[in-house]
Chain A
Amino acid sequence: MLMKGIQMDLISEDKLEGMTSMEKVRLILDEVKSGKILVLEKGLTPSEQNKLIELTMVEITPDNFSGIEIESYPVKHGSSFMGKLLGKTTVKTRLTVIGPADQLKTIKKDRDMISALVSTH
Protein backbone atom coordinates (compact mmCIF):
# COMPACT_ATOMS: atom_id res chain seq x y z
CA MET A 1 0.00 0.00 0.00
CA LEU A 2 1.33 3.43 -0.93
CA MET A 3 1.78 5.59 2.13
CA LYS A 4 0.61 9.16 1.76
CA GLY A 5 1.79 11.99 3.93
CA ILE A 6 4.00 15.01 4.26
CA GLN A 7 7.74 14.73 3.85
CA MET A 8 9.74 15.87 6.83
CA ASP A 9 13.48 16.54 6.48
CA LEU A 10 15.70 16.77 9.54
CA ILE A 11 18.86 18.71 8.77
CA SER A 12 21.91 18.22 10.93
CA GLU A 13 23.98 20.92 12.58
CA ASP A 14 27.04 19.73 10.61
CA LYS A 15 25.30 20.23 7.28
CA LEU A 16 24.03 23.67 8.29
CA GLU A 17 27.46 24.78 9.48
CA GLY A 18 28.89 24.08 6.03
CA MET A 19 26.39 26.37 4.34
CA THR A 20 26.38 30.14 3.85
CA SER A 21 23.45 32.19 5.12
CA MET A 22 22.02 32.60 1.64
CA GLU A 23 22.32 28.87 0.92
CA LYS A 24 20.39 28.07 4.10
CA VAL A 25 17.63 30.55 3.33
CA ARG A 26 17.35 29.34 -0.27
CA LEU A 27 17.24 25.70 0.82
CA ILE A 28 14.54 26.42 3.39
CA LEU A 29 12.33 28.35 1.01
CA ASP A 30 12.69 25.86 -1.86
CA GLU A 31 11.89 22.88 0.37
CA VAL A 32 9.03 24.57 2.20
CA LYS A 33 7.48 25.81 -1.05
CA SER A 34 7.50 22.22 -2.28
CA GLY A 35 5.42 21.28 0.75
CA LYS A 36 8.05 19.83 3.07
CA ILE A 37 8.46 20.39 6.79
CA LEU A 38 12.04 21.08 7.84
CA VAL A 39 13.56 20.51 11.25
CA LEU A 40 16.90 22.25 11.68
CA GLU A 41 19.08 20.82 14.43
CA LYS A 42 20.70 24.23 14.81
CA GLY A 43 18.55 27.24 14.00
CA LEU A 44 19.22 30.46 12.17
CA THR A 45 21.07 33.48 13.51
CA PRO A 46 19.03 36.67 13.94
CA SER A 47 20.41 38.10 10.69
CA GLU A 48 19.57 34.86 8.86
CA GLN A 49 16.06 35.05 10.29
CA ASN A 50 15.79 38.57 8.85
CA LYS A 51 16.90 37.32 5.43
CA LEU A 52 14.41 34.46 5.59
CA ILE A 53 11.53 36.80 6.46
CA GLU A 54 12.50 39.22 3.67
CA LEU A 55 12.77 36.52 1.00
CA THR A 56 9.57 34.85 2.19
CA MET A 57 7.74 38.14 1.70
CA VAL A 58 9.20 38.50 -1.81
CA GLU A 59 7.97 35.01 -2.75
CA ILE A 60 4.42 35.23 -1.41
CA THR A 61 1.88 35.00 -4.23
CA PRO A 62 -1.90 35.20 -3.77
CA ASP A 63 -2.81 31.73 -4.98
CA ASN A 64 0.30 29.60 -4.46
CA PHE A 65 2.32 30.55 -1.41
CA SER A 66 1.14 32.43 1.67
CA GLY A 67 4.36 32.25 3.65
CA ILE A 68 5.97 30.09 6.29
CA GLU A 69 5.34 28.98 9.81
CA ILE A 70 8.60 29.05 11.74
CA GLU A 71 9.13 28.19 15.35
CA SER A 72 12.37 28.19 17.26
CA TYR A 73 13.47 28.62 20.83
CA PRO A 74 15.05 31.91 21.90
CA VAL A 75 18.80 31.94 21.26
CA LYS A 76 21.16 31.22 24.13
CA HIS A 77 24.07 33.49 24.95
CA GLY A 78 27.33 32.03 26.11
CA SER A 79 30.84 33.25 26.65
CA SER A 80 34.13 31.41 26.49
CA PHE A 81 37.06 32.29 28.75
CA MET A 82 38.68 34.31 25.94
CA GLY A 83 35.30 35.78 25.08
CA LYS A 84 34.89 36.99 28.65
CA LEU A 85 38.32 38.58 28.53
CA LEU A 86 37.47 40.34 25.27
CA GLY A 87 33.93 41.17 26.35
CA LYS A 88 32.40 39.07 23.58
CA THR A 89 29.50 36.67 23.85
CA THR A 90 28.57 33.84 21.52
CA VAL A 91 25.04 33.28 20.23
CA LYS A 92 23.83 29.69 20.25
CA THR A 93 20.83 29.11 18.03
CA ARG A 94 18.51 26.22 18.78
CA LEU A 95 16.23 23.69 17.13
CA THR A 96 13.89 25.22 14.57
CA VAL A 97 10.84 23.89 12.74
CA ILE A 98 9.76 25.47 9.46
CA GLY A 99 6.91 24.59 7.13
CA PRO A 100 4.33 26.04 4.74
CA ALA A 101 1.98 28.40 6.61
CA ASP A 102 -1.07 26.55 5.27
CA GLN A 103 0.15 23.14 6.49
CA LEU A 104 2.01 23.73 9.73
CA LYS A 105 0.26 25.34 12.66
CA THR A 106 1.74 25.93 16.08
CA ILE A 107 -0.58 24.80 18.83
CA LYS A 108 1.50 25.77 21.80
CA LYS A 109 5.00 26.95 22.42
CA ASP A 110 6.96 27.73 25.52
CA ARG A 111 10.61 28.14 26.42
CA ASP A 112 11.46 24.46 25.96
CA MET A 113 8.64 22.86 24.00
CA ILE A 114 7.00 23.35 20.63
CA SER A 115 3.71 21.62 19.88
CA ALA A 116 2.54 21.78 16.27
CA LEU A 117 -0.13 20.40 14.00
CA VAL A 118 0.80 19.26 10.49
CA SER A 119 -1.98 18.91 7.97
CA THR A 120 -2.38 17.88 4.35
CA HIS A 121 -4.23 20.32 2.09
Chain B
Amino acid sequence: MGIIKKMKSKFKKKRARIGIYGPPNAGKTTLANRIIRDWTGDAMGSVSHVPHETRRARRREGVTINANGSSVTLDVIDTPGLATKIDFHDFMALGMNEEDSKRRAKEATEGVIEAVKWLDDLDGVILVMDATEDPYTQVNVTVIGNMEARRLPLLIVANKIDLPDSSPARIHGAFPQHPLVSVSALEGQNIDLLYKEIADHFG
Protein backbone atom coordinates (compact mmCIF):
# COMPACT_ATOMS: atom_id res chain seq x y z
CA MET B 1 0.00 0.00 0.00
CA GLY B 2 1.40 3.40 -1.00
CA ILE B 3 2.07 6.12 1.52
CA ILE B 4 -0.80 8.31 0.29
CA LYS B 5 -3.22 5.40 0.38
CA LYS B 6 -2.05 4.54 3.89
CA MET B 7 -2.55 8.14 5.04
CA LYS B 8 -6.01 8.21 3.45
CA SER B 9 -6.98 5.02 5.15
CA LYS B 10 -5.60 6.27 8.50
CA PHE B 11 -7.61 9.48 8.39
CA LYS B 12 -10.68 8.09 6.67
CA LYS B 13 -13.79 9.28 8.51
CA LYS B 14 -15.26 6.60 10.69
CA ARG B 15 -18.73 5.30 9.96
CA ALA B 16 -21.24 7.95 11.03
CA ARG B 17 -23.36 7.10 14.05
CA ILE B 18 -26.82 8.59 13.59
CA GLY B 19 -29.48 8.74 16.29
CA ILE B 20 -33.19 8.80 15.54
CA TYR B 21 -34.74 11.16 18.08
CA GLY B 22 -38.09 12.69 18.84
CA PRO B 23 -40.98 12.76 21.27
CA PRO B 24 -42.94 9.57 22.05
CA ASN B 25 -45.24 8.39 19.23
CA ALA B 26 -43.64 10.57 16.56
CA GLY B 27 -42.92 7.42 14.51
CA LYS B 28 -39.20 6.92 15.25
CA THR B 29 -39.28 3.13 15.31
CA THR B 30 -41.61 3.00 12.28
CA LEU B 31 -39.03 5.08 10.41
CA ALA B 32 -36.10 3.03 11.75
CA ASN B 33 -37.88 -0.17 10.70
CA ARG B 34 -38.45 1.18 7.20
CA ILE B 35 -34.80 2.27 6.79
CA ILE B 36 -33.42 -1.01 8.13
CA ARG B 37 -35.90 -3.11 6.13
CA ASP B 38 -35.21 -1.21 2.89
CA TRP B 39 -31.44 -1.57 3.16
CA THR B 40 -30.85 -4.79 5.15
CA GLY B 41 -34.12 -6.72 4.99
CA ASP B 42 -34.46 -6.87 8.82
CA ALA B 43 -36.55 -4.87 11.31
CA MET B 44 -35.49 -2.74 14.27
CA GLY B 45 -38.25 -3.08 16.87
CA SER B 46 -41.95 -3.29 17.63
CA VAL B 47 -44.31 -0.33 17.32
CA SER B 48 -47.45 0.53 19.27
CA HIS B 49 -50.05 3.27 19.65
CA VAL B 50 -49.22 3.28 23.38
CA PRO B 51 -46.43 5.82 23.99
CA HIS B 52 -42.96 4.71 25.13
CA GLU B 53 -43.08 1.37 23.31
CA THR B 54 -39.30 1.75 22.76
CA ARG B 55 -37.72 1.91 26.19
CA ARG B 56 -34.19 0.81 25.31
CA ALA B 57 -32.01 2.30 22.59
CA ARG B 58 -31.32 -0.13 19.75
CA ARG B 59 -28.32 0.05 17.47
CA ARG B 60 -28.02 -1.41 13.99
CA GLU B 61 -24.48 -1.26 12.61
CA GLY B 62 -23.34 -0.92 9.03
CA VAL B 63 -26.49 0.15 7.22
CA THR B 64 -25.42 1.17 3.71
CA ILE B 65 -27.75 3.56 1.92
CA ASN B 66 -27.31 4.21 -1.80
CA ALA B 67 -29.06 7.28 -3.10
CA ASN B 68 -28.57 9.74 -5.87
CA GLY B 69 -25.34 8.16 -7.03
CA SER B 70 -23.65 8.27 -3.62
CA SER B 71 -23.35 5.72 -0.86
CA VAL B 72 -23.22 6.19 2.89
CA THR B 73 -22.76 3.59 5.62
CA LEU B 74 -24.29 4.40 9.00
CA ASP B 75 -24.78 2.96 12.45
CA VAL B 76 -28.44 3.69 13.15
CA ILE B 77 -29.60 4.14 16.76
CA ASP B 78 -33.34 4.08 17.43
CA THR B 79 -33.81 5.89 20.74
CA PRO B 80 -36.66 5.91 23.28
CA GLY B 81 -38.99 8.91 23.02
CA LEU B 82 -37.76 11.98 24.88
CA ALA B 83 -40.11 13.53 27.43
CA THR B 84 -40.07 15.79 30.49
CA LYS B 85 -43.05 14.07 32.14
CA ILE B 86 -44.22 10.48 32.44
CA ASP B 87 -47.45 9.73 34.28
CA PHE B 88 -48.48 6.10 34.67
CA HIS B 89 -52.14 7.19 34.63
CA ASP B 90 -51.71 7.98 30.92
CA PHE B 91 -50.98 4.30 30.24
CA MET B 92 -53.96 3.22 32.35
CA ALA B 93 -56.16 5.51 30.25
CA LEU B 94 -55.05 3.49 27.23
CA GLY B 95 -56.23 0.24 28.80
CA MET B 96 -53.21 -1.06 30.71
CA ASN B 97 -53.60 -2.28 34.29
CA GLU B 98 -52.00 -0.33 37.15
CA GLU B 99 -49.09 -2.67 37.72
CA ASP B 100 -48.11 -2.77 34.05
CA SER B 101 -48.59 0.99 33.75
CA LYS B 102 -46.26 1.69 36.66
CA ARG B 103 -43.66 -0.71 35.26
CA ARG B 104 -43.89 0.88 31.82
CA ALA B 105 -43.57 4.36 33.36
CA LYS B 106 -40.46 3.32 35.31
CA GLU B 107 -38.87 1.75 32.23
CA ALA B 108 -39.81 4.82 30.18
CA THR B 109 -37.96 7.15 32.60
CA GLU B 110 -34.86 4.97 32.23
CA GLY B 111 -35.29 5.04 28.47
CA VAL B 112 -35.37 8.84 28.41
CA ILE B 113 -32.11 8.98 30.41
CA GLU B 114 -30.55 6.51 27.97
CA ALA B 115 -31.65 8.61 24.99
CA VAL B 116 -30.15 11.77 26.54
CA LYS B 117 -26.86 9.96 27.27
CA TRP B 118 -26.63 8.77 23.65
CA LEU B 119 -26.48 12.39 22.47
CA ASP B 120 -22.83 12.44 23.61
CA ASP B 121 -21.87 9.60 21.27
CA LEU B 122 -23.43 10.60 17.97
CA ASP B 123 -22.22 12.14 14.72
CA GLY B 124 -25.65 13.38 13.70
CA VAL B 125 -29.34 13.20 14.42
CA ILE B 126 -32.54 12.51 12.50
CA LEU B 127 -35.19 14.36 14.50
CA VAL B 128 -38.62 12.89 13.86
CA MET B 129 -41.62 15.13 14.46
CA ASP B 130 -45.28 14.29 14.17
CA ALA B 131 -46.41 16.76 11.48
CA THR B 132 -49.91 16.89 12.99
CA GLU B 133 -48.55 18.24 16.31
CA ASP B 134 -47.20 21.58 17.52
CA PRO B 135 -43.46 21.56 16.70
CA TYR B 136 -42.42 24.00 19.46
CA THR B 137 -42.02 21.35 22.14
CA GLN B 138 -39.21 21.38 24.66
CA VAL B 139 -38.00 18.02 23.37
CA ASN B 140 -37.52 19.44 19.87
CA VAL B 141 -35.92 22.63 21.21
CA THR B 142 -33.53 20.59 23.39
CA VAL B 143 -32.42 18.16 20.65
CA ILE B 144 -31.91 20.96 18.14
CA GLY B 145 -30.05 23.08 20.71
CA ASN B 146 -27.73 20.18 21.49
CA MET B 147 -26.90 19.53 17.86
CA GLU B 148 -26.33 23.23 17.17
CA ALA B 149 -24.07 23.59 20.22
CA ARG B 150 -22.01 20.61 19.06
CA ARG B 151 -22.11 21.69 15.42
CA LEU B 152 -23.34 18.28 14.34
CA PRO B 153 -25.61 17.68 11.35
CA LEU B 154 -29.33 17.47 11.95
CA LEU B 155 -32.06 16.38 9.57
CA ILE B 156 -35.69 17.01 10.52
CA VAL B 157 -38.24 14.47 9.38
CA ALA B 158 -41.84 15.73 9.31
CA ASN B 159 -43.60 12.39 9.69
CA LYS B 160 -47.24 11.29 9.26
CA ILE B 161 -47.92 13.32 6.12
CA ASP B 162 -50.50 10.67 5.22
CA LEU B 163 -52.76 12.21 7.90
CA PRO B 164 -55.08 15.06 6.85
CA ASP B 165 -54.06 17.42 9.70
CA SER B 166 -50.35 17.24 8.93
CA SER B 167 -48.49 20.48 8.28
CA PRO B 168 -44.79 20.14 7.45
CA ALA B 169 -44.83 23.88 6.64
CA ARG B 170 -45.50 24.63 10.32
CA ILE B 171 -42.36 22.65 11.27
CA HIS B 172 -40.29 24.39 8.63
CA GLY B 173 -41.55 27.75 9.93
CA ALA B 174 -40.45 26.82 13.44
CA PHE B 175 -36.95 25.62 12.56
CA PRO B 176 -36.13 27.15 9.15
CA GLN B 177 -32.37 26.86 9.69
CA HIS B 178 -32.39 23.05 9.32
CA PRO B 179 -33.10 20.77 6.33
CA LEU B 180 -36.49 19.06 6.43
CA VAL B 181 -38.00 16.10 4.62
CA SER B 182 -41.74 15.37 4.75
CA VAL B 183 -42.52 11.64 4.82
CA SER B 184 -44.97 9.01 5.83
CA ALA B 185 -42.78 6.36 7.45
CA LEU B 186 -45.83 4.12 7.67
CA GLU B 187 -46.80 4.31 3.98
CA GLY B 188 -43.40 5.05 2.48
CA GLN B 189 -44.34 8.40 0.94
CA ASN B 190 -41.24 10.50 0.00
CA ILE B 191 -38.94 7.87 1.47
CA ASP B 192 -36.55 8.02 -1.52
CA LEU B 193 -36.22 11.75 -0.94
CA LEU B 194 -35.29 11.01 2.68
CA TYR B 195 -32.53 8.61 1.56
CA LYS B 196 -31.13 11.26 -0.74
CA GLU B 197 -31.06 13.78 2.12
CA ILE B 198 -29.44 11.22 4.45
CA ALA B 199 -26.72 10.55 1.87
CA ASP B 200 -26.19 14.30 1.39
CA HIS B 201 -26.04 15.23 5.08
CA PHE B 202 -24.40 12.27 6.76
CA GLY B 203 -22.11 11.01 3.99
Contact = CB atoms under 8 A, between A and B. Distances in A.
Interface of A: 45-47, 49-50, 52-54, 56-58, 60, 62, 66-75, 77, 91, 101-102, 108-111
Contacts of B112: 53-54, 57
Contact of A91 (B110, B141, B149): B149
Interface of A is mostly: mixed
Interface in B129-166: 134, 136-138, 141-142, 144-146, 148-149
Interface of B: 82-89, 102, 105, 109-110, 112-113, 116-117, 119, 134, 136-138, 141-142, 144-146, 148-149, 174-175
Given A67-B86, A74-B144, 17 more contacts: A47-B149, A49-B141, A49-B146, A50-B119, A53-B82, A53-B84, A53-B116, A53-B142, A54-B112, A56-B84, A60-B105, A70-B138, A73-B141, A75-B141, A101-B85, A109-B136, A110-B174
Q: Chain B: interface secondary structure? A: helix
A52 B110 CA distance: 14
B145 A46 contact: yes
Contacts of A56: 84-85
Contacts of B136: 109-111
B127 to A, nearest CB: 13
Contacts of B141: 49, 72-75
A52 B89 CA distance: 23
Contact of A45 (B84, B137, B138, B149): B149
Contacts of B174: 74, 110-111
